[in-house]
Structure 1
Amino acid sequence: MSTSVPNRLYAAITGIGGYIPENTRSNLDLEKICDTSDEWIVKRTGIKERRILEEELATSDMAVRAIEDLATKYNKNIHDIDALLVATSTPDMPMPATANIIADKLGIDNVWAFDMNAACSGFLYALDLGASLIETRRYKNVLVVGADNISTYVDIHDRSTNILFGDGAGVVWLEPSMEGGIMDAYLRSNGSGRSFLNIEGGGSLYPLDAADAIADKRYLKQDGKTVFKHAVQSMSDACFQVLNRNGLTIEDVDWLVPHQANQRIIDAVGRALDIPEGRALSNIEYLGNTIAATIPLCIWQNLKQIKTGDLVMLTAFGAGFSWGASLFKWMI
């Protein structure tokens, strides 16, 4: 089966890197803090531990290390980068963009760099935009980063969120290819879901001050049952949309890489798609939900399984609500 269209210019992933902090927060650690247990957490989420960034570091620091990992492994010159897209919900500061800070830390000063926030769907949104930049032929080396220091926004005593979230960064390098690459993407959002998963404080609606801090508006909140239902339905629907409009079935897909929100969601999406067992990749057990970083980190940690020419489907769901799916041929 050929999935390449003759004479079409694709954006191909030609490198991938990742970074996860050294510090861990295990289920046993959480048992000492709130009313929970390792057995309960694993049963409900599939997570045993998550990584936590050191207090003196920020999202940009993880992104820089992920980029350096990519550049070293694939012998890339970071000064060739002409666009840097950073998907994050946890910027270093409201302004400037974390992408600007990353560029400065890397020592590159002539690059189009900016942030985008689509929460847990952010990497898919940024990947589609990065592919579009390549397809216009105006950019040749586009870096797409997914990075979040979400532990900063988690109430350590709230067991509805402290069991789920961890920190990390993943990155891919996009270049033009006539052989294959990113084929299609289906991305959607619906702001009516904002009350079910959000961080209220810190924006222009609720600027952080002493009163807001007392009201806990600076912490991540979610309605788990509502998010679960919408996530499974939206992610599976987005995958079917992409498959149908490309004349493919799930049997044509070699690997499904779902957003690593919760193992039960991952399993439910796999069942809804009826993907063969073992072809849905997961790394949530020891990383938890790293927001925009989950998909690139999952690919990064499963590289040995993915072969050149494999058809890979990504799908994600996040705050907003935002959701989508992406399909590409692995060209490395």
Structure 2
Amino acid sequence: MYINTLSHYLPSEVIGNEYFTKLNNLSSEWIVERTGIYERRKAGEGENTATMAIEAVNLLLADDNVPYSKNEIDLIVGGTYTPYDTIVTVAHAVQHHLSLPDIPVVTISSACSSLLNAIEIVEGYFAMGKASKALVIVSDHNTAYYNESDTVSGHLWGDGASAMLISKERQSESDMFIKKLITGGAATSGKAIEAVVLRPNDRGVVMPFGRDVFQNACIYMPKVSQQVLQACGLTIDDLDYLIPHQANHRISLNVINTLGIPAEKLISNIQYLGNTGCAGCAIALSENRSKFKKGENIVITVFGGGYSYGAMLITI
């Protein structure tokens, strides 16, 4: 599989740490020390998971490097755990916007691992010969669900979306090759089914066992990153960049320390975007696309509440 091109959309409103200082008496220094976050984006009035996804798709298709017409897209897969509509899913909203009838349309939710599971769905459709050119969209509107007064996790969340075109066969020399993808569920580990939850009829996203999330993320992300490299006959020394799920900068630092990766190989955007959920890694890949060089190896590794995890090896 090949990523042909990608894009990202970020709401214009920036929420700095001072907002939470006024609201919850949490100092900016306290937030930065524990999370690495000093500001995040918040969807504005009239914006939601679907509209952000559509904006990301519009930016994607406006790119001069798009190698084929939108009419050649024969599969749409969306990923989100913060839907605007649980019936008309984010993928349906994008299909309607693009006026692409009679193609498979799927939306997946595996918390912050949804990006890699969405791409894995594409891999399955390609393997079965049911599609050859897919549009993947990941979008999370965390601030529609969070409880901003929650001093444990209210200050973590940001909003954003990303889109990418993926083809079964190479379309151009600038394509990024998806060399290997591994995912797994870890709901039997720790306090997986109660550590971080979003129950819409209750009070939004809550994280009663944040330490358990932290500990398991720091176990699974390095482990699956090693596995995906080893499956391709590579070692950590062959890795040029690591993009971990943007949940907490301390988790990211712990992951690279465990793997023995220097800080300059870590790609991170949580500092200025907050935790943008399943869109975070895709946004980071899009933001940094121009810096990657031919032959470089990038690993995206994720960990989601529930728990779920995964890693994907991309070769430029």
**TM-score interval, smaller chain:** over 0.9
Deviation for aligned residue 1:106: 2.5
1:299 and 2:296 matched: no
User: For 1:198-230, what per-residue CA distance to the aligned partner results, in whole angstroms no more than 9, with x for missing partners?
Assistant: 1123xxxxxx3xxxxxxxx24101122111100
Is contact 1:148-1:169 (8 Å) kept? yes
Deviation for aligned residue 1:152: 0.9
- Structure 1 outlier segments of 4+, above 4 Å: none
**Matched residues in 1 for 2:199 and 2:51: separation?**
25
1:108 and 2:67 matched: no
**Matched residues in 1 for 2:161 and 2:197: separation?**
21
- What corresponds to 1:220 in structure 2? 205
**Matched residues in 1 for 2:123 and 2:82: separation?**
23
Q: For 1:47, which of 27, 37, 41 is the aligned residue?
A: 37
Q: For 1:28, which of 18, 43, 56 is the aligned residue?
A: 18
1:150 and 2:142 matched: yes
Structure 2 counterpart SS, 1:268 = helix
Q: For 1:191, which of 187, 190, 204 is the aligned residue?
A: 187
Is contact 1:260-1:283 (8 Å) kept? yes
**Matched residues in 2 for 1:308 and 1:16: separation?**
17
1:123 and 2:119 matched: no
RMSD: 1.6
1:328 and 2:314 matched: yes
- What corresponds to 1:18 in structure 2? 8
- What corresponds to 2:54 in structure 1? 64
1:85 and 2:77 matched: yes
- What corresponds to 1:231 in structure 2? 217
Deviation for aligned residue 1:100: 0.8
User: For 1:295-323, what per-residue CA distance to the aligned partner results, in whole angstroms no more than 9, with x for missing partners?
Assistant: 11011111222123321111010111011
**Matched residues in 2 for 1:127 and 1:33: separation?**
39
**Matched residues in 1 for 2:128 and 2:313: separation?**
19
- What corresponds to 1:204 in structure 2? none
**Matched residues in 1 for 2:281 and 2:159: separation?**
13
Is contact 2:39-2:274 (8 Å) kept? yes
- What corresponds to 1:182 in structure 2? 178
| Structure-1-length-normalised TM-score | 0.88
**Matched residues in 2 for 1:200 and 1:152: separation?**
12
**Matched residues in 2 for 1:246 and 1:327: separation?**
9
Deviation for aligned residue 1:171: 1.4
Q: For 1:134, which of 103, 106, 126 is the aligned residue?
A: 126
**Matched residues in 1 for 2:106 and 2:231: separation?**
31
Deviation for aligned residue 1:78: 2.1
Deviation for aligned residue 1:147: 0.6
**Matched residues in 2 for 1:145 and 1:23: separation?**
21
% identity of equivalent residues: 31
Structure 2 counterpart SS, 1:119 = coil
Which structure 1 segments of 5+ residues have no match? 1-10, 202-207, 209-216
**Matched residues in 2 for 1:300 and 1:266: separation?**
19
| Structure-2-length-normalised TM-score | 0.92
- What corresponds to 1:314 in structure 2? 300
**Matched residues in 1 for 2:314 and 2:38: separation?**
31
May I ask how many residue pairs the two structures share in their alignment?
306
Amino acid in structure 1 at the alignment position of 2:45? E
**Matched residues in 2 for 1:89 and 1:310: separation?**
31
Q: For 2:152, which of 160, 165, 169 is the aligned residue?
A: 160
Which structure 2 segments of 5+ residues have no match? none
**Matched residues in 2 for 1:309 and 1:142: separation?**
24
Is contact 2:137-2:161 (8 Å) kept? yes
**Matched residues in 2 for 1:321 and 1:53: separation?**
27
Is contact 1:134-1:142 (8 Å) kept? no
Distance 1:133 1:307, change over 3 A: farther
Deviation for aligned residue 1:98: 2.1
Is contact 1:131-1:182 (8 Å) kept? no
**Matched residues in 2 for 1:98 and 1:304: separation?**
28
- What corresponds to 2:262 in structure 1? 276
**Matched residues in 1 for 2:293 and 2:251: separation?**
26
**Matched residues in 1 for 2:4 and 2:30: separation?**
40
- What corresponds to 1:255 in structure 2? 241
